[in-house]
Homo-oligomer: A and B are copies of this chain.
Amino acid sequence: MISDERLDRYARLAIEVGLNLTPGQDLLVEGMVEHAPLARRVARAAYAAGAGNVDVVYGDLHVSRAQIEAGAQARLGWTPPWMLRRIEDAMERHAALLSLHGNPEPDLMAGVDQARLGRSRLLDFQALRVRALNEAMLDWCIVACPTEGWARSLFGEPDVERLWQAVETAVRLDEPDPVAAWRDHIARLQHRAASMTGRRFDAIRFRGPGTDLTVGLLPNSRWCSAETQTAWGQRHVPNLPTEEVFTTPDPRRADGTVRSTRPLILPELTVRDLALRFEGGRVVDITATTGAAVFRALLDIDEGARRLGELALVDGTTRVGRLGMTFQSTLLDENATCHLAVGTGLAVGIDGADGRAGQDLRELGANVSGVHTDFMVGGPEVEVDGLERDGAAVPLLRRDEWLLP
């Protein structure tokens, strides 16, 4: 039983730092049924902060599994229209959206038909979310919500207390003044992003066991970090925690092979030992010891799903990295190490692209897709270099340490 006081501190952090919720602003909350204890305290904290209306919708993995197991094939992946309406309406009303993250039963989909699992994604819903993100029409934030099932999957026993402590460390709730700690942290990341943008590297190269991949950048690729802002100018921190600097690469230039250094936790299941080969920006070969079929189905969703939309650098000294554990959660694990994403490019990662989506974004050089899926590629054995236009290599990361000033 997690104390209300603990949930309240976390809820306040999400509302103050993550969403920067303004008085009168409406808040949507989404999570799984198992996240109700946190969602309830978020609702209280939001109203205390002056929220207009707090609208909580819970998903249920068991209901999803029932459809994957026995529902008509033709209806798999169908999005009920109200789910789109809810997001569209939130965009119109300049609302905030808090997503509670963390699979409460990571093994629930084990044994179900992988092809049907792959078809069960709500693509219309996902595409709308990607558009909302690129048009900067939602004040959004994702936070992790520890549950017994997640803890059991990590530790072999339902030690939620241990998972809570790890998450609290990751999001700086162990600081006496977490809001001030976040202010300092955001400034440090902003400095790193600005210095990367100033270098105008032509490409980034990853080299390590099973990995030798060069990813081209665009002339107007911009490096970003923790904080972003909505189309109406509201600053927010979309991920808690966040430790990365990231940019939108050139989707036509990625060549070589890359081996994922952490399990990739998809909504459907876990992909282990993923390895990809790129040619001319496209994924041309996929292997994995589990989940390969689901990952292939993901890359078949549209043409853009096969190309890169994000490149992010993270050193090993971050709070998440120092915890030395794999959370089996992209939100947390991607802040322990460098990562790439297949799927849509991020408008914020390109100069002059703010608020653009779809064809508008493509014209500025970015990849466009209805999906965006991160996978981890960094670690102590992976060397990362920035390549200048003349081919000179500038070491960026060695033994997980950041080398630029």
Q: Which residues of A contact B (CB under 8 A)?
A: 24, 33, 36, 39-40, 43-44, 46-48, 50-58, 60, 62-63, 66-67, 69-72, 75, 78, 80-83, 85-86, 89
Which residue of chain B is the closest to A24 with respect to CB atoms?
B72
A181 to chain B, nearest CB (A): 27
Residues of B within 8 A of A58 (CB): 33, 57-58, 60
A57, B54: Cβ atoms under 8 Å?
A: no
A66, B40: Cβ atoms under 8 Å?
A: yes
Residues of B within 8 A of A55 (CB): 80
28 contacting pairs across A/B (C-beta < 8 A):
A24-B72, A36-B60, A36-B62, A40-B60, A43-B62, A43-B66, A43-B67, A47-B66, A51-B71, A52-B71, A52-B75, A53-B71, A53-B75, A54-B63, A54-B66, A54-B67, A54-B71, A55-B80, A56-B63, A57-B58, A58-B60, A80-B89, A81-B86, A82-B82, A82-B83, A82-B85, A82-B89, A85-B85
A47, B69: Cβ atoms under 8 Å?
A: yes
Which residue of chain B is the closest to A33 with respect to CB atoms?
B36
A367 to chain B, nearest CB (A): 30
Counting every copy of the chain, the complex holds 2
A66 to B39, CA, bound (A): 11
Which residue of chain B is the closest to A47 with respect to CB atoms?
B70
Which residue of chain B is the closest to A28 with respect to CB atoms?
B80
A10 to B302, CA, bound (A): 42
**Further pairs besides A40-B66, A55-B80, A56-B63: 17, Cβ < 8 Å:** A33-B58, A36-B62, A43-B63, A43-B66, A43-B67, A44-B70, A47-B66, A48-B70, A53-B75, A54-B63, A57-B58, A80-B89, A81-B85, A81-B89, A82-B83, A82-B89, A85-B85
Residues of B within 8 A of A33 (CB): 33, 36, 58
A56, B60: Cβ atoms under 8 Å?
A: yes
A40 to B85, CA, bound (A): 25
Most B CB within 10 A of own CB, among A54, A69, A78, A80: A80
A57 to B54, CA, bound (A): 16
A50 to chain B, nearest CB (A): 8
A386 to chain B, nearest CB (A): 46
